[in-house]
Structure 1
Amino acid sequence: MGSGKTTVGRALARKLNKRFIDSDHEIEARTGASIPVIFEVEGEAAFRQREAEVISDLTALDDIVLATGGGAILNEASRAMLAERGTVIYLRASINSILHRTSHDKNRPLLQGPDPRRRLEELSRQREPMYAAIADIVIDTGRPNVQFLVNTILTQLGLSPARCADTVMNPEPMSIPVLPLMSVAPGVSHAHFASVRLQVDLGARSYPITIGTGLLDDVELLRQHVQGERAAVVTNTVVAPLYLERLTRSLVAAGKQVTTIVLPDGEEEKTWPNLMKIFDGLLTDKCDRKTTLIALGGGVVGDMTGFAAASYMRGVPLIQIPTTLLSQVDSSVGGKTGINHPLGKNMIGAFYQPQTVIADTATLDTLPARELSAGLAEVIKHGAIIDTVFLDWIEANMGALLAKDPVALTHAIRRSCEIKADIVRQDEREAGLRAILNFGHTFAHAIEAGLGYGTWLHGEAVGCGMVMAADLSCRLGLIDVVAKDRLTRIVGAAGLPVIAPDLGLATWLELMQVDKKNEGGAIKFILLQPLGKALIRNVPDSILAQTLHACVQRAC
């Protein structure tokens, strides 16, 4: 609501030489009553039914640009028709922008209560995952110019703005908020936009992230990103039987010659000998520097393949195709690659950005429950360090996430990738800000090394590490007990451990001293001040000892 989607929709229709229709205007024309009157007399449920009938009729038409009401996607049938019959464009901006544009508008029945900001936040939490799930194109509307927005949409549709039928006649500044939907009916093919796309902005090293279902079968997507004639797929013994043949078939259909390399599975296999196995396969098949390495698997496969791509012939193209939740929300994005050393996790590696990240959410269907929970640790982390609204949503939707609800998972993946991409954009090589993504990881890496790699999953160690970091933050007076206990509950609700293993104080300290954030032998921690904001600081040994003692005895 209040998106300016009518303005953008009309301008887009002129450019595409199509007819523009606003579903709210159509409802008013059919009933002879305004939207507020319909809400008052019949109630919202009856209005949604009228809206669904109108959308059913309108999406059956050809060559239109349809602007829907913001709540149209609440109806399951409407969501299905919008997704199946057209290309869905989601315009996204901030709550503040929405309030600015709707503050004096009395024609919006859902915002007429005493606290419109809170109501908008509620609507956003309810609707945002649905928009993310069906949107083919997402447009962030920070640039306040209708012409710019329309040209951006045309470019995303694969069209040249200069060659389209008309020019935008209304380039005045405007502020466009979150929550609108537009659907371009069948005049534009839906097949190429059945996914959510994000961008990691790193200048010449920028790359897209594509999130969707069935992407392993998208031959055109693979052809677009595998530039040379050859591809080498690196995977492991668990993922290979599930998805290797399918990906290979798509690559062959795209005209690529394929080499496959299958590694043993497990964090304990993230070693130098297994890195050599990748090089052995590449050299045996005489792969040249135009060969694209494709990482098909979880974080271990992604990190090792990325390190191999950074090193082989001093650098070859890399594509990440993550198949676990943890790798889809975190490790595949940002260019960190490497292997473990017996004395420290990820201590040998390189920063090396991929050409693209392709996250096929259908691969999560085969993900074991323990691996799913491990991935949720990184999702929770993003909310805890930077986005409390997202953390609220995670807490409220934990059941849906654990049940692998596709709408919930898509939203969790997309928002996590947005957060990480923005941090990486500001600090690609972890000179400062990016270190906050290691919240809980100082404790986690010590757990993994102390127990032996593979005993706990990485996400399990991160979950427990976040609980310990929250306890440490509380002891330092940075957050209160309520915030600490809340984060502990959320981690536990995800099926993650909240009691740390007893490694012994000396072992804990020794292992935590081997950490990339440390300087001059001093251990640095990522802490919360408050929940939703992170900082980096040293900690007195006495306070750290209190946290270690408490967290191995009980939930912190």
Structure 2
Amino acid sequence: MIWTSGELRVSCLILIGMMGAGKTTVGKELARRRKLRFADCDHEIIARTGVSIPTIFEIEGEEGFRRRETHMMDELTQEPDIVIATGGGVVLSPLNRELMRTRGVVIYLNVPPQILYERTRHDRNRPLLQVDNPRQRIEELFQQRDPLYREAAHLIIEGGRGNPGTMVRMIENALHKLWPTEPESELMRTLNVALGERAYPIHIGRGLLERADLILPQLKTKRVAIVTNDVVGPLYLERLRATLEAAGMQVAVVSLPDGEAHKDLPTLNRIFDMLLAERCERSTTLIALGGGVVGDMGGFAAACYQRGMPFIQIPTTLLAQVDSSVGGKTAVNHALGKNMIGAFYQPRLVLADIDTLSTLPVRELSAGLAEVIKYGLIRDLEFLEWLEQNLERLLAREPEALAYAIERSCRNKAEVVAADETEQGERALLNLGHTFGHAIETGLGYGEWLHGEAVAAGTMMAAQLSHQLGWLSAADVERISALFERAGLPVWGPRLGVERYLELMAHDKKVEAGKLRLILLRALGQGVIHGDASPAEMAAAIEARCR
């Protein structure tokens, strides 16, 4: 489909900017999301001539190359449904500038010269930079070309920060603002956690960090305090801060060290230090921007500060988006047990921006999939089957697949939480694999294994015990193992020693009247709370699933 504004073709998107601005990388992602063809002008010239750009410069000079560039741009800009990445010097020709402006939307990726130098200093395929002082040459080219880029551009995107996914979303947002008939790439999905007067929405979609309209209705005053960490903050804090400040909010920030090893009372006190230093009131809203550790600690701080302040979850990991941000469990760890000090405290809003998953390390993505798979195992066999068919799409981070998996997971959790908020019964099913898994995390030392990794290995122990009890077949156990392995997750626990496992499990929160309640599987898609497993049965399952 082609959308137009007057005679302007919004289906022809032309990226301009200096060498090293990221036009090819951003262009490929933009084309993929919008289902358009991608073409790199320089690469098309290479394919047509059969020689490299430096060779063309050597034989024909820059003037000869520019003639070829103009012919190629004339050809490419006549194609429908295309994203074009241009060479850095394409704007030197007045004909090229006029041709681009009249045939498509020209988008200038404006990146500071210092960043351009860092990106290109080792590249030997850029003839104009083969000089004694390439840094100075980049500065000179930037001063010469920046006015021409601005003259040619319909949109200017400030680059140099963030990843290609962030840049693409900035482009899509700008297109949508300039041409309201231009549809957004994905619709936002919204669920509701039904808790009466404390009900709250879960919004799932892309570009939600820029959606002040979703956040403002949940704020009591114009003051917010953001809790993030040293990994997520540099990636997404400024985007969120800009959104809030543009809406007139006063923003205070504390950044915590990253990782499960810092999910403790001393680190929690850093949040309280910031809240007190900034003279935050009970009506100030705390926003947790990060993964499960940030969400748990931010939520617990909100529950405690002045006996309760409103808070919002903005999870940036898959695990947090599908599990820890929903349901109101907040806590810190103790040396003797995971999440032993905490409170049930519900957020006002959960905002799951799928774009934040583009920067998630592969290991973290896999860890999140452990919690996704859990929902299929305990109560949603149809979803389990969908995961078996679509796991590679999730690993490839296809937005449509991720949105569906996050929504389905959150819907499952929201239904359970609405029925049993404080885990008196059914909600305990959400802890499949967690009793064994928490023992792994505590026994190895917090942070050695990611939470999702420990849950996967713990789920295999629970599956083994379910098999020993005659509920699962050997084929069922293997089916679970195969899915976890495809997700890049461990299916064998570390050898801590059976006695150590049992000792750590005895501190689990699911111990009642001295008896440990385990979450097992009566069948695939049917979790069950089981309080009658003997130490010998648990020991056998642990021994069978450790290497």
- CA shift for structure 1 position 355: 0.4
Whether the 8 Å contact between 2:221 and 2:283 is mirrored in structure 1 is yes
CA distance in 2, matches of 1:376, 1:59: 41
- CA shift for structure 1 position 542: 1.7
Of 260, 264, 275, 1:271 maps to 264
- CA shift for structure 1 position 222: 2.2
CA distance in 2, matches of 1:199, 1:80: 29
Tell me which residue corresponds to 1:122.
none
Of 471, 489, 495, 1:496 maps to 489
Structure 1 residues 526-545: aligned runs within 5 Å: 526-537=519-530, 538-545=532-539
Tell me which residue corresponds to 1:379.
372
Of 353, 363, 369, 1:370 maps to 363
- CA shift for structure 1 position 225: 2.2
Of 440, 446, 451, 2:444 maps to 451
CA distance in 2, matches of 1:254, 1:289: 21
Tell me which residue corresponds to 1:133.
none
Aligned-partner SS, 1:529: strand
Distance 1:191-1:252 versus aligned 2 partners, 3 A rule: farther
- CA shift for structure 1 position 193: 9.3
CA distance in 2, matches of 1:346, 1:305: 14
Of 224, 246, 250, 1:231 maps to 224
The residue type equivalent to 1:544 in the other structure is M
Post-superposition CA distance 1:424-453 (Å, at most 9, x none)? 000000000000000000000000000000
| Alignment partner of 1:549 is 2:543 | yes
Tell me which residue corresponds to 1:440.
433
Tell me which residue corresponds to 1:397.
390
- CA shift for structure 1 position 224: 2.2
- CA shift for structure 1 position 548: 1.3
Tell me which residue corresponds to 1:323.
316
- CA shift for structure 1 position 191: 7.3
Aligned-partner SS, 1:380: helix
Distance 1:203-1:190 versus aligned 2 partners, 3 A rule: farther
Distance 1:241-1:80 versus aligned 2 partners, 3 A rule: closer
Distance 1:201-1:345 versus aligned 2 partners, 3 A rule: same
CA distance in 2, matches of 1:288, 1:519: 38
Tell me which residue corresponds to 2:207.
214
Aligned-partner SS, 1:470: helix
Tell me which residue corresponds to 2:473.
480
Whether the 8 Å contact between 1:232 and 1:291 is mirrored in structure 2 is yes
Whether the 8 Å contact between 2:3 and 2:182 is mirrored in structure 1 is no
The residue type equivalent to 1:250 in the other structure is T
Whether the 8 Å contact between 2:227 and 2:253 is mirrored in structure 1 is yes
Post-superposition CA distance 1:386-406 (Å, at most 9, x none)? 011100011111111111111
| Alignment partner of 1:425 is 2:425 | no
- CA shift for structure 1 position 187: 11
CA distance in 2, matches of 1:410, 1:496: 21
The residue type equivalent to 1:209 in the other structure is I
Percentage of matched positions with identical amino acids: 56
The residue type equivalent to 1:337 in the other structure is T
CA distance in 2, matches of 1:219, 1:377: 31
CA distance in 2, matches of 1:352, 1:422: 17
CA distance in 2, matches of 1:429, 1:219: 31
- CA shift for structure 1 position 506: 1.3
CA distance in 2, matches of 1:541, 1:506: 10
CA distance in 2, matches of 1:187, 1:365: 26
- CA shift for structure 1 position 188: 10
| Alignment partner of 1:313 is 2:313 | no
Structure 1 residues 284-295: aligned runs within 5 Å: 284-295=277-288
The residue type equivalent to 1:310 in the other structure is A
Whether the 8 Å contact between 2:186 and 2:206 is mirrored in structure 1 is no
Structure 1 residues 125-274: aligned runs within 5 Å: 194-274=187-267
Q: Which has the larger radius of gyration?
A: 2
The residue type equivalent to 1:236 in the other structure is N
- CA shift for structure 1 position 219: 2.1
Distance 1:254-1:517 versus aligned 2 partners, 3 A rule: same
Tell me which residue corresponds to 2:408.
415
Tell me which residue corresponds to 1:299.
292
- CA shift for structure 1 position 313: 0.7
CA distance in 1, matches of 2:503, 2:436: 11
- Which consecutive aligned stretches of 4+ in structure 1 deviate over 6 angstroms post-superposition? 56-60, 186-193
The residue type equivalent to 2:374 in the other structure is K
Aligned-partner SS, 2:471: coil
Unpaired segments ≥5 residues, structure 2: 6-30, 36-178
Tell me which residue corresponds to 1:356.
349
Whether the 8 Å contact between 2:288 and 2:314 is mirrored in structure 1 is yes
CA distance in 2, matches of 1:448, 1:254: 42
Distance 1:453-1:59 versus aligned 2 partners, 3 A rule: same
Deviating more after overlay: 253-262 vs 190-199: 190-199
How many matched pairs? Answer: 377
- CA shift for structure 1 position 59: 13
CA distance in 2, matches of 1:281, 1:187: 41
The residue type equivalent to 1:471 in the other structure is Q
CA distance in 2, matches of 1:57, 1:251: 34
- CA shift for structure 1 position 216: 0.5
Whether the 8 Å contact between 1:222 and 1:254 is mirrored in structure 2 is no
Whether the 8 Å contact between 1:324 and 1:375 is mirrored in structure 2 is yes
Post-superposition CA distance 1:11-51 (Å, at most 9, x none)? xxxxxxxxxxxxxxxxxxxxxxxxxxxxxxxxxxxxxxxxx
Distance 1:437-1:355 versus aligned 2 partners, 3 A rule: same
Distance 1:372-1:269 versus aligned 2 partners, 3 A rule: same
- CA shift for structure 1 position 194: 3.8
- What is the TM-score when the length of structure 1 is the normalising length? 0.65
- CA shift for structure 1 position 218: 1.2
Unpaired segments ≥5 residues, structure 1: 1-55, 61-76, 82-185
Aligned-partner SS, 2:538: helix
Whether the 8 Å contact between 1:467 and 1:491 is mirrored in structure 2 is no
| Alignment partner of 1:334 is 2:327 | yes
Whether the 8 Å contact between 2:34 and 2:185 is mirrored in structure 1 is no
CA distance in 2, matches of 1:188, 1:291: 37
CA distance in 1, matches of 2:2, 2:296: 49
| Alignment partner of 1:516 is 2:509 | yes
CA distance in 1, matches of 2:428, 2:181: 43
Whether the 8 Å contact between 1:323 and 1:360 is mirrored in structure 2 is yes
Post-superposition CA distance 1:29-82 (Å, at most 9, x none)? xxxxxxxxxxxxxxxxxxxxxxxxxxx69999xxxxxxxxxxxxxxxx9x979x
CA distance in 2, matches of 1:517, 1:406: 36
Whether the 8 Å contact between 2:282 and 2:309 is mirrored in structure 1 is yes
The residue type equivalent to 1:428 in the other structure is E
- CA shift for structure 1 position 521: 2.1
The residue type equivalent to 1:313 in the other structure is Q
Whether the 8 Å contact between 1:220 and 1:254 is mirrored in structure 2 is no
- CA shift for structure 1 position 192: 13
Distance 1:375-1:524 versus aligned 2 partners, 3 A rule: same
Aligned-partner SS, 2:512: coil
- CA shift for structure 1 position 189: 11
Question: Aligned Cα RMSD in Å?
Answer: 2.2
- CA shift for structure 1 position 523: 1.9
CA distance in 1, matches of 2:239, 2:461: 42
CA distance in 2, matches of 1:293, 1:315: 10
| Alignment partner of 1:506 is 2:499 | yes
Distance 1:192-1:388 versus aligned 2 partners, 3 A rule: closer
Distance 1:531-1:231 versus aligned 2 partners, 3 A rule: same
Post-superposition CA distance 1:102-135 (Å, at most 9, x none)? xxxxxxxxxxxxxxxxxxxxxxxxxxxxxxxxxx
CA distance in 2, matches of 1:191, 1:250: 19
The residue type equivalent to 2:191 in the other structure is L
Whether the 8 Å contact between 1:365 and 1:404 is mirrored in structure 2 is yes
